[in-house]
């Protein structure tokens, strides 16, 4: 990046337009003859002057009459108008030439179009040169540039190739598009070597400032320029300053020191009309030398300390003389030189680890008037430093100041940083703020970016801030056990939806651009993460209409997921089956099959659901390590268990004869469920779903014991068959008991290591109770009573203790201990009274009755009533 503007507007005009654009000399004295008196008027001079004025007036009247007649007869001929405009261009009246060219309407003739466009662009460039305000200059150049590019692509008019490349290269250079300027300026110089004197410095500066700086090429270019011994003093000084900059960028610091020393020793003899002022020239050399020294220190020690407490005394000592030189520049230099010196002083202070002092220098640069390239780069680097220091409020204030002063893209001075690079670096700074977790500041900053940023880009930054904030909310709201607190979940959903709103507005603004579909997808994804499926459905319909075929599967899967969440299983199936049928080789077909299984499961169509899951499990391209295979196994196992449990509930409410048939038919489903659940639990332990699979497998064994138990009680069954059925019952219950105990032991070990998640806590409680229930089913009443007692002690004064006491009462009665059972009933009454009212909502979640139902049950048990059919508060 250049630290100096070597070519002022006045000089660039003189070098680029030696005849046409320079104002006429209005001084009547000629040949530098100062103080010479004018010759006296002769008597006949007045007569001659009068005759000349009369002839001129007649000529003007005649020309006006001819022009009026010509204008009144027919519209002006385009060829004639362009010929007149061309003559005006040759005579140096560039603005008039451009205005005449604008009046020409040409349909087909490409040569005339090129000539017209060329003259129009030249007129705009001339207006830029005449403008005094930098913003106005850039506006005129911005109008000229696309026209010049269009003419260059089709070919400049015959004889105007050199001038066209010169105008185009200068426009690129002055608008900060240095990469493009390099090639065009080279073409102009190659076509006309006489332009070297005016264009070589510009070419060297473009090479230094390109996105991939070519300091070596710039040094060669400026050496070629300085080899011309006919250069004036001012031109040589400017070239040497460029050479200093190139040497510094190349790391040739000793050569830079020698050149600066030689320049300072040389007497400064500069004509008064030069753009370089003698009092400031020494300061410019000191600044250039200081820049080289600062670059050397940055190369040695790094741009900034890598750690907060890193010792930077060495770099402070090394830069002491440089900082003193910069202080001299602050006092003696002109405003532009001072601004550049403050900018490099700030960079030196950052290298020394003195961030607060660096911010002071950057603020001074940013607040300079007029607001130009130095202020922009100073403000930008201030924003970047504040972002690294996590000072979001100050960064917000600085960014607001920058955007307000720039105003719009036309107000951006690209002399030291291009608008594209400015936007990129601001976005990186916003990412840094988000990484620090200051999301509110990042959102506020995003809302201040327009009009320097296009509105859709500002909205995208706002959406990303909300999205990152939502993810951080979920992360911070997740307990050690893996549960997300309800408050965090609610906040995260709100922030995901806010992100979706911002992305959706950005997509609307980008509808006619290539960014539309990607922005629309960002909105869809944010809405789905926020569980706002209705809005995602609304956005998915146009997305699927415009998205290209290779990306259709992700839209179809998202559409199916949203419809399924919105209880529209039939529509979801249609979308997902389209994905599976039309995109047979796309990896997203696995997700589509998984969602199809869920949709068919919602409809109760187990065969179809099972088939899609089997397709995933038997697909040769999936392995058990893949998420799709794993989720398919879990889903298949859970669907089978769900179907088996539904069948079991139907059997419980059916007639005895039908019940036996339903339970018998359910055995095959239970066997399949147990096989899949055991496999899932074994493969993927200790995932949360693996815990659930292990518990459901044990529950499935309990359900599988029901049919042989009832069958064994049939009166017409043979004794051998009865014994076989009883053995089968015991086998199933023993397997269930082992499953509950194993899961309980694993969860207890994990509980000792960390807090369990809510789901795991509930599962552990159920394992305790299910173990005791299974022991009771096995008629091991002593062991069952002990297990129930363990539960009652673990959950003392909590609702599960009542279930445990109820189990103890049942075991005591089975063992013939009626007195002990009666005492436990009184104990249950005491426990119920001790359970706080704050646990009322837990009764329905963890026991079979609410508080009132338990009160009724205990009262009936105290009165000797054994049945619970009359209790209406069962949960």
Q: What is the DSSP string of 791-822?
A: HHHHTTTSHHHHHHHHHHHHHHHHTT-HHHHH
Interior/surface letters 299-317, b for 16+ CB within 10 angstroms, e for the rest = eebeebbeeeeeebeebbe
Q: What is the pLDDT of residues 244-269, one digit of tens each?
A: 999 999 999 999 999 999 888 876 65
pLDDT at 792: 94
pLDDT category at 571 given cuts 50, 70, 90 is: very high
794's CB contacts (< 8 A; 6+ apart) are 768
The pLDDT tens digits for 59-77 are 454 445 444 444 444 456 7
With bands split at pLDDT 50, 70 and 90, how would you rate the model's confidence at 57?
low
Task: Please determine, for residue 830, whether its predicted confidence score (pLDDT) is greater than 50.
Answer: yes
Residues 376 and 406: beta-carbon distance below 8 Å: yes
The pLDDT value recorded for residue 9 is 32
pLDDT per residue over 369-417, tens digit each?
888 899 999 999 999 999 999 999 999 999 999 999 998 888 889 988 9
pLDDT digits (tens, 9 = 90+) for 104-138: 887 666 778 888 999 999 999 999 999 888 888 88
Handedness of CA 505, 506, 512, 517 (dihedral sign): negative
Provide mean pLDDT across the span 462-473: 97
Query: Are 438 and 408 contacting, i.e. CB atoms less than 8 angstroms apart?
Result: no
Count of CB atoms within 10 A of residue 345's CB?
28
**pLDDT 10s digits, 610-634:** 999 999 999 888 899 999 999 999 9
The pLDDT of residue 150: 92
What is the C-alpha separation between 350 and 343, in angstroms, rounded?
A: 11
- Banded pLDDT at 767 (limits 50, 70, 90): very high
Distance CA 426, CA 437 (A): 17
658 strand-pairing partners: none
Mean pLDDT calculated for residue range 307-313: 84
In three-state secondary structure terms, 716 is coil
pLDDT band at 17 (very low <50, low <70, confident <90, very high): very low
- Please answer whether residues 691 and 708 qualify as being in contact, where contact means their C-beta atoms are separated by less than 8 angstroms: no
**Residue given tokens 């436990």 in the structure block:** 824
Q: How many CB atoms lie within 10 A of CB 273?
A: 8
Percent of the chain with pLDDT over 90: 64
Question: Residue 368's pLDDT band (boundaries 50, 70, 90)?
Answer: confident
CB 737 within 8 A of CB 682: no
Please give the mean pLDDT across all residues of the chain: 86
pLDDT of res. 213:
73
605 Cα distance to chain centroid: 42
Determine the distance from the C-alpha atom of residue 578 to the mean position of all C-alpha atoms in its chain, rounded to a whole number.
32
* Residues contacting 680, CB < 8 A, separation 6+: 633, 634, 637, 689, 690, 693
Structural contact between residues 858 and 847, judged by C-beta atoms closer than 8 angstroms: no
Q: Is the Cβ–Cβ distance between 116 and 80 less than 8 Å?
A: no
What's the CA gap between 24 and 9, in Å, rounded? 18
Model pTM greater than 0.75?
Answer: yes
Higher pLDDT, 43 or 675: 675
At residue 486, the pLDDT reads: 87
Positive/negative CA dihedral, 412, 418, 420, 422: negative
For 583, the token pair is 């995109």
The DSSP output letter for 193 is G
Q: Look up residue 250 and give its two tokens.
A: 């190349």
- Quote the strand ranges of 361-410, DSSP E: none
In which residue are the tokens 């006919």 written?
A: 230
Residue 660 has pLDDT above 60, yes or no: yes
Confidence at residue 352, expressed as pLDDT on a 0 to 100 scale: 93
- Which residues make Cβ contacts (< 8 Å) with residue 215, sequence separation at least 6? 207, 208, 246, 249, 250
For residue 275, the 8-state DSSP code is: S
Label residue 431 by pLDDT band (50, 70, 90): very high
pLDDT of residue 27: 40
Domains detected in the chain: 1-22+57-215 (1.25.40), 797-875 (no CATH)
Q: Is the CB of residue 377 less than 8 Å from the CB of residue 354?
A: no
pLDDT band at 812 (very low <50, low <70, confident <90, very high): very high
Return the CA Rg of the chain: 43
Q: Would the pLDDT of 58 be above 60?
A: no
Q: CA-CA distance, 138 to 115, in Å (whole number)?
A: 23
Alpha helices in 685-757 (DSSP H): 688-704, 706-712, 719-753
**DSSP assignments along 618-682, one per residue:** T-TT--TTSHHHHHHHHHHHHHHHHHHHHHHHHHHTS-HHHHHHHHHHHHHHHHHHHHHHHHHHH
3-state SS assignment for residue 478: strand
Q: 700 with 732: CB under 8 angstroms? A: no
- Separation between Cα atoms, residue 347 and residue 355, nearest integer Å: 9
Q: Is 762 exposed, middle or buried (0-12, 13-18, 19+ CB in 10 A)?
A: middle
Structure tokens at 322: 């440089």
Mean pLDDT computed over 837-858: 90
């Amino acid at each position: 990046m250049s630290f100096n503007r070597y070519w002022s507007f006045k000089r660039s005009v003189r070098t680029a337009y030696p005849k046409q654009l320079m104002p006429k000399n209005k001084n009547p004295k000629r040949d530098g003859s100062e103080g010479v008196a004018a010759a006296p008027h002769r008597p006949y001079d007045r007569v001659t002057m009068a005759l000349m004025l009369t002839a001129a007036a007649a000529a003007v009247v005649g020309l006006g009459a001819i022009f009026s007649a010509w204008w009144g007869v027919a519209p002006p001929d385009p060829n004639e108008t362009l010929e007149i405009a061309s003559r005006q261009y040759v005579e140096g009246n560039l603005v008039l030439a451009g205005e005449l060219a604008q009046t020409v309407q040409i349909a087909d003739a490409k040569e005339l179009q090129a000539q017209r466009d060329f003259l129009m662009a030249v007129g705009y460039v001339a207006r830029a040169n005449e403008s005094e305000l930098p913003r106005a200059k850039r506006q005129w150049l911005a109008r000229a540039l696309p026209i010049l590019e269009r003419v260059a692509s089709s070919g400049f008019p015959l004889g105007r190739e050199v001038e066209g490349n010169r105008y185009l290269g200068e426009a690129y250079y002055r608008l900060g598009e240095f990469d493009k300027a390099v090639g065009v300026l080279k073409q102009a110089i190659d076509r006309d070597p006489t332009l070297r004197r005016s264009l070589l410095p510009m070419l060297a500066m473009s090479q230094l400032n390109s996105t991939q700086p070519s300091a070596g090429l710039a040094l060669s270019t400026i050496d070629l320029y300085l080899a011309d011994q006919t250069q004036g003093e001012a031109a040589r000084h400017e070239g040497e300053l460029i050479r200093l900059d190139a040497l510094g960028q190349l790391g040739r610091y000793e050569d830079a020191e020698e050149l600066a020393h030689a320049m300072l020793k040389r007497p400064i003899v500069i004509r008064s009309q030069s753009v370089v002022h003698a009092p400031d020239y020494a300061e410019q050399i000191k600044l250039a030398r200081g820049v080289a020294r600062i670059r050397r220190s940055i190369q040695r020690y790094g741009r900034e300390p890598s750690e907060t407490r890193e010792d930077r005394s060495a770099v402070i000592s090394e830069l002491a003389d440089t900082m003193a030189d910069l202080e001299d520049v602050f006092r003696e230099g002109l405003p532009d030189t001072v601004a550049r010196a403050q900018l490099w002083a700030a960079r030196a202070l950052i290298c020394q680890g003195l961030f607060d002092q660096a911010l002071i220098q950057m603020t001074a640069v940013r607040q300079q008037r007029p607001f130009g390239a130095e202020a922009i780069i100073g403000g930008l680097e201030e924003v970047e430093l504040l972002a690294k220091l996590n000072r979001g409020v100050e960064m917000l204030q600085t960014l607001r100041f920058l955007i307000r002063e720039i105003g719009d893209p036309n107000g951006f001075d690209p002399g030291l940083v291009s608008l594209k690079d400015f936007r990129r670096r601001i976005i990186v700074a916003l990412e840094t703020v988000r990484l620090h977790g200051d999301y509110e500041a990042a959102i506020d900053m995003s809302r201040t970016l327009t009009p320097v940023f296009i509105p859709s880009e500002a909205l995208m930054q706002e959406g990303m801030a909300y999205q990152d904030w939502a993810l951080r909310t979920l992360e911070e709201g997740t307990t050690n056990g893996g549960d997300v607190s309800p408050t965090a979940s609610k906040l995260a959903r709100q922030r995901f939806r806010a992100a979706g709103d911002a992305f959706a507005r950005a997509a609307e603004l980008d509808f006619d651009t290539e960014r539309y579909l990607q922005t629309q997808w960002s909105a869809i994804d944010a809405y789905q993460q926020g569980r706002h499926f209705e809005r995602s459905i609304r956005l998915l319909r146009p997305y699927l209409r415009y998205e290209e075929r290779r990306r259709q599967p992700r839209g179809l899967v998202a559409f199916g997921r949203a419809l399924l969440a919105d209880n529209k299983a039939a529509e979801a199936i249609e979308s997902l089956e389209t994905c599976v049928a039309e995109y047979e080789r796309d990896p997203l077909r696995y997700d589509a099959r998984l969602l199809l299984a869920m949709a068919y499961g919602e409809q109760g169509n187990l065969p179809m659901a099972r088939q899609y899951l089997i397709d995933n499990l038997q697909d040769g391209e999936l392995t058990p390590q893949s998420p799709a295979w794993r989720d398919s196994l879990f889903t298949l196992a859970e669907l089978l268990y769900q179907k088996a449990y539904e069948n079991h509930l139907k059997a419980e409410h059916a007639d005895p004869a039908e019940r036996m048939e339903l339970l018998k038919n359910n055995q095959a489903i239970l066997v399949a469920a147990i096989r899949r659940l055991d496999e899932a639990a074994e493969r993927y332990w200790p995932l949360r779903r693996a815990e659930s699979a292990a518990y459901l497998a044990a529950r499935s064994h309990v359900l599988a014991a029901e049919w042989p138990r009832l069958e064994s009680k049939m009166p017409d069954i043979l004794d051998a068959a009865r014994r076989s059925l009883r053995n089968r019952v015991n086998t199933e219950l023993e397997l269930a008991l082992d499953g509950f105990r194993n899961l309980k032991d694993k969860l207890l070990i994990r509980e000792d290591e960390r807090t369990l998640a809510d789901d795991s806590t509930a599962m552990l409680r159920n394992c305790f109770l299910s173990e005791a229930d299974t022991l009771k089913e096995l008629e091991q009443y002593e062991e069952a009573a002990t297990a129930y007692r363990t539960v009652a002690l673990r959950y003392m004064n909590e609702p599960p203790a009542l279930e445990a006491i109820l189990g103890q009462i049942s075991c005591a009665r089975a063992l013939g201990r009626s007195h002990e059972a009666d005492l436990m009933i009184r104990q249950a009454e005491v426990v119920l009274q001790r359970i706080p009212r704050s646990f009322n909502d837990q009764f329905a979640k963890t026991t079979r009755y609410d508080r009132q139902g338990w009160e009724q049950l205990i009262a009936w048990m105290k009165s000797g009533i054994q049945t619970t059919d009359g209790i209406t508060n069962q949960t």
